[in-house]
Amino acid sequence: MPLLISRNDITRIEVDAIVNAANTDLVMGGGVCGAIFKAAGPSKLQAACDKLAPIQTGQAVMTDGFDSKAKYIIHTAGPIYKKGNPNQEKQLYDCYFNSLRLAAGKQLETIAFPLISSGIYGYPPDEALATAQRAIHDFLGEYEENMIVYLIVYNDDAFKTAQSMYGEVKSYIDERLIKDERHRTLPWNRFRQKEKESAPLQEVSYETSLKQYEIDAEESAVSEDIFSRLEDSFSTLLFKMIRKKQMTNAEVYKNANLDRRLFSKIISNSDYTPRKNTVLALAISLRLNLEETQELLRSAGYAISHSSKADLIIEYYILHQGNKYYNIDDLNFLLFQYNQVQLGQID
């Protein structure tokens, strides 16, 4: 894990394997298929494909990457969409699952997929994406593979749920950024800061010093009492929240789009503090409300900032889910749209 969304040229991304949305004859086509052949060297790749052709819809085969940036190219034949065809969803699912199985067999750590069949094969992008997500998450969950999967998406129609929130999110961000900026630049705030900076040093009497000493001593005693009542560490609080939500560890890190090894480090090492991105991914996985999310962040030394677009997007998402529907892939698309770091990347 994890699954990350990217709008990129699949022939230029730095990964161990790229996936070619091929035809069953494995001959050079147009679109993504043609671009992959050109990047690898058409004659070299075609000669390798000829030895493996033909393949069935949903099947996957592997060749060397030749002149491309990837070590390997995995070729899989997606279904041609026909409304009412009962087999096409399973065939599309198999494209992803079988491709990942080949990558795991070579112990590859990174792989990039196009959104198979969503181009000239006519598969509705949102349905194609849903099947892709299900297949990828199923594979990574079932085989416990520590693999980063990139899904190269060009068509925003694939993310209908997230896309429907885009305009509202933009308004939410703009409103709070403007409000925060006004607060920082109010004339009296600037005056107070200037006054504080230019205040002259004053002579302090013995009586005043003694009184201040007594106040400091009292505050020190209070501080010691506070330290004796420190809040739970991040890992302790996380464990309590997992139990409260009645989730298994596997459910948590899978829903958080996290690497299993990273999650194990977080749980087993009480001194380890993950990055803010990771803490937020866990909050989404646990379906925490905003108050619970802030509590989890605080235990790791972080907070939601209204000066951060990413934080505002996440805050909006949490506030508008009603503790019912959390999907980290949809949230990641919103972050992706604003060029923000997605949740679930390796810590």
Residues 184, 130 within the same domain:
no
Spell out the long-range contacts of 56-61 with Cβ–Cβ below 8 A and sequence spacing 24 or more: 56/24, 57/24, 57/91, 58/90, 58/91, 58/92, 58/93, 58/94, 58/95, 58/98, 59/94, 59/98, 60/19, 60/95, 60/98, 60/99, 60/101, 60/102, 61/26, 61/102
- Residue 229's pLDDT is 44
R_g of the chain computed on alpha carbons: 26
- Residue 333's contacts (CB-CB under 8 Å, 6 or more residues apart) are 5, 159, 162, 163
- Residue of 172, 106, 214, 110 whose CA lies nearest to 318: 172
- Residue 191's pLDDT is 41
- Residue 121's pLDDT is 94
- Residue 213's pLDDT is 52
CATH number at residue 13: 3.40.220.10
Gap between the Cα atoms of 335 and 310, Å rounded? 6
Number of domains in the chain: 2
Contact in structure between 313 and 169 (CB atoms under 8 Å): yes
Query: For residue 225, is it within any domain?
Result: no
Which of 120, 154, 188 marks a domain boundary? 154
Gap between the Cα atoms of 122 and 153, Å rounded? 15
What are the tens digits of pLDDT across the range 45-103? Answer: 999 999 999 999 999 999 999 999 999 999 999 999 998 898 999 999 999 999 999 99
For the chain, which residues score pLDDT lower than 70?
Answer: 1, 144-145, 155-166, 178-231, 322-324, 345-347
- Residue 195's pLDDT is 45
- Kindly list the distances between the CA atom of residue 343 and the CA atoms of 22, 59, 331, in Å, as whole numbers in the listed order: 31, 31, 8
Domain ranges, residue 300: 157-198+231-347
Give the pTM.
0.75
- Kindly list the distances between the CA atom of residue 262 and the CA atoms of 223, 235, 248, in Å, as whole numbers in the listed order: 34, 12, 16
- Residue 196's pLDDT is 46
Tokens found for residue 223: 């501080």
Residues 243, 150 within the same domain:
no
Q: Other C-beta atoms within 10 Å of 27: how many?
A: 14
Residues 150, 238 within the same domain:
no
Residues 244, 187 within the same domain:
yes
DSSP label at residue 55 = -
Residues 191, 322 within the same domain:
yes
- Residue 185's pLDDT is 47
- Residue 11's pLDDT is 95
Tokens found for residue 30: 């147009």
- In DSSP terms, which residues pair with 152 in a beta bridge? 6, 114
- Residue 286's contacts (CB-CB under 8 Å, 6 or more residues apart) are 241, 242, 245, 247, 252, 292
Which of 154, 189, 223 marks a domain boundary? 154
* Residue found by looking up tokens 């894990």 in the block: 1
Query: For residue 221, is it within any domain?
Result: no
Residues 110, 171 within the same domain:
no
Query: For residue 297, is it within any domain?
Result: yes
